[in-house]
């Protein structure tokens, strides 16, 4: 039993190592090429399925929806999560710290945060997508409508009728 | 409403960060599902027109548009299309939120204390799944039996179809 699962784990490890040693080229919509490890690229379900479908690993993957700046940042996330182990408590804590710093930086630049969110959605990077959408949600939490407008730079375009409705909504018990 | 001057335009450029438009509706829906406190939803619905439309959806009919996917079969000149996946994202209204008819539509009401009874408060997201059907039922009952909903001219047949006929009273049938 123990040896069986040990062998399976070893096989999985070997497979992971083998796939991890391959390099994959991702090309932004500006034509800039980024070479990443397969383990890093596999953070993206979109690329993972293309690779597993016996796709054109050698030719690389053009990403027409992602610009260089965004792709570089997304890859930073994928490298951290794909290339590093997260088995021990310390390793997991390090990853959590990385996520925290990563999102704090993005939070300061909303436009960039949206671009990264879009890329995470397009590339199906679950962890990154959850991280960015949670960050946007956190910005909304506990704020008044006015504060939300300021935080997101949203134009006030409510009509008198909307205002009346909202006033009506506010007159609760 | 003034014409935007040059300065105004610049401001507008800075202001074009409404993520609803930027990241699209499906991603925005993912954002709003993180807002598990009903007060946040209530406040979000008062941010702008697009947010009002987006945050609050009561009943309604789903329309699926096939943008750029027009395809005719030569044999019979008819349109065929196969939908493999349709997703409607959202969460049923929590207990603290109610809907009341108002003018030509409905307004969202937030009752922070009156009907809390320990249900749904962020932390208790674990039992959401179990509670949702009853909450939904509660909501449909409220809207179906509120006489003002009828005054508004909500068509009973449509309501029945939306909420399932089992929630509606039987005697309404002959009216249709």
Q: What is the pLDDT of residues B22-40, one digit of tens each?
A: 777 778 888 888 887 778 8
- Establish, for the pair of chains A and B, how many residue pairs have beta carbons separated by less than 8 Å: 102
B18:A110 CB<8 A? no
Residue from the list A145, A149, A169 with its beta carbon closest to the beta carbon of B110:
A169
A169 touches chain B (CB under 8 A): yes
CA A141, B115, B130, B57 torsion: positive or negative? negative
So what's the pLDDT on residue B157?
A: 56
So what's the pLDDT on residue A61?
A: 87
pTM of the model: 0.60
Relative orientation angle of helices A126-140 and A89-107, to the nearest 10 degrees: 50
Determine the average pLDDT of the residues in B122-136.
43
Query: How many CB atoms are closer than 10 A to CB B59?
Result: 14
B22 touches chain A (CB under 8 A): yes
Is A71 part of any domain? yes
pLDDT at A114 over 80: yes
Q: Residue A129 and residue A78: Cα distance in Å, rounded? A: 12
A137:B31 CB<8 A? yes
Residue carrying structure tokens 């999985």: A12
Strand partners, A26: A34, A61
pLDDT at B122 over 90: no
Is B123 part of any domain? yes
Is B1 part of any domain? no
So what's the pLDDT on residue B111?
A: 73
Determine the average pLDDT of the residues in A82-109.
90
Determine the average pLDDT of the residues in A24-29.
92
Q: Residue A121 and residue A113: Cα distance in Å, rounded? A: 12
Domain that holds residue B29: 6-175
Determine the average pLDDT of the residues in B55-79.
70
Determine the average pLDDT of the residues in A35-60.
84
B110 touches chain A (CB under 8 A): yes
Report the CATH number at residue A32: 3.30.710.10
Residue B63, phi then psi, degrees to nearest 5? -115, 130
Is A43 part of any domain? yes
Residue from the list A118, A142, A153 with its beta carbon closest to the beta carbon of B23:
A118
So what's the pLDDT on residue B17?
A: 57
So what's the pLDDT on residue A68?
A: 95
Determine the average pLDDT of the residues in A120-149.
92
So what's the pLDDT on residue A96?
A: 93
Domain count for chain A, please give it. Answer: 1
Q: What mean pLDDT, rounded, does chain A reach?
A: 83
B121 touches chain A (CB under 8 A): no
Determine the average pLDDT of the residues in B158-166.
54
Determine the average pLDDT of the residues in A108-123.
90
Q: What mean pLDDT, rounded, does chain B reach?
A: 61
So what's the pLDDT on residue A129?
A: 94
Q: Residue B130 and residue B111: Cα distance in Å, rounded? A: 22
Is A66 part of any domain? yes
A160 touches chain B (CB under 8 A): no
So what's the pLDDT on residue A78?
A: 95
Write down the ipTM of this complex: 0.72
Is A105 part of any domain? yes
Is B116 part of any domain? yes
Is B157 part of any domain? yes
Provide the pLDDT confidence category of residue B59 given band limits of 50, 70 and 90: low
Is B155 part of any domain? yes
Domain that holds residue A102: 23-154
Interface test mutation site (partner B, options A116, A154, A164, A166, max chain B beta carbons within 10 A) = A154
Q: In Å, how far are B37, B58, B68 from B65, measured between CA atoms? A: 32, 20, 9
Domain count for chain B, please give it. Answer: 1
Is A27 part of any domain? yes
pLDDT at A32 over 60: yes
SS3 A16: helix
Is A168 part of any domain? no
Is A3 part of any domain? no
B17:A110 CB<8 A? yes
Provide the pLDDT confidence category of residue B57 given band limits of 50, 70 and 90: low
So what's the pLDDT on residue A7?
A: 56
So what's the pLDDT on residue B38?
A: 75
Task: Mean pLDDT check: name the lowest of A76-85, A106-115, B120-129.
Answer: B120-129
Looking at beta carbons, which residues of chain B come within 8 Å of A144?
43
Task: Mean pLDDT check: name the lowest of A54-68, A140-154, B6-20, B94-108.
Answer: B6-20
Determine the average pLDDT of the residues in B5-32.
63
B16:A153 CB<8 A? yes
B17:A118 CB<8 A? no
So what's the pLDDT on residue B132?
A: 47
Provide the pLDDT confidence category of residue B2 given band limits of 50, 70 and 90: very low
């Amino acid at each position: 039993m123990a040896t069986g699962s040990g062998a399976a784990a070893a096989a999985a490890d070997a497979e992971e190592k083998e796939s991890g040693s391959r390099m994959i080229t991702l090309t932004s919509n500006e034509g800039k090429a980024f070479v990443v490890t397969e383990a890093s690229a596999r953070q993206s379900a979109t690329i993972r399925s293309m690779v597993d479908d016996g796709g054109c690993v050698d030719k690389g993957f053009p990403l027409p929806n992602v610009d260089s700046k965004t792709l570089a940042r997304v890859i930073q996330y994928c490298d951290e999560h794909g290339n590093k182990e997260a088995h021990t408590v310390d390793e997991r804590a390090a990853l959590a710290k990385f996520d925290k710093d990563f999102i704090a930086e993005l939070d300061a630049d909303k436009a960039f945060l949206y671009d990264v969110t879009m890329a995470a959605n397009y590339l199906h990077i679950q962890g990154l997508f959850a991280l960015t959408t949670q960050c946007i949600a956190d910005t909304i939490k506990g704020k008044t409508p006015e504060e939300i407008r300021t935080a997101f730079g949203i134009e006030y375009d409510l009509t008198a009728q909307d205002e009346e409705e909202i006033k009506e909504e506010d007159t609760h018990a | 409403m003034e014409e935007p001057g040059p300065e105004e335009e610049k401001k507008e450029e800075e202001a074009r960060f409404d993520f609803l438009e930027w990241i699209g509706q499906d991603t925005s829906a993912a954002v709003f599902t993180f807002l598990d406190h009903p007060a946040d939803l209530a406040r979000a619905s008062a941010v702008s027109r697009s947010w009002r439309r987006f945050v609050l959806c009561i009943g309604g009919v789903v329309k699926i548009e096939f943008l750029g996917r027009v395809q005719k079969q030569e044999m019979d000149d008819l349109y065929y299309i196969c939908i493999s996946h349709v997703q409607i994202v959202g969460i049923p209204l929590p207990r603290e939120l109610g809907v009341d008819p108002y003018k030509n539509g409905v307004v969202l009401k937030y009752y922070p204390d009156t009907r809390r009874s320990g249900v749904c408060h962020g932390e208790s997201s674990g039992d959401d799944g179990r509670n949702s059907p009853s909450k939904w039922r509660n909501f449909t009952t409220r809207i179906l039996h509120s006489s003002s909903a009828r005054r508004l001219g909500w068509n009973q047949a449509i309501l029945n179809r939306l909420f399932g006929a089992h929630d509606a009273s039987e005697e309404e049938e002959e009216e249709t």
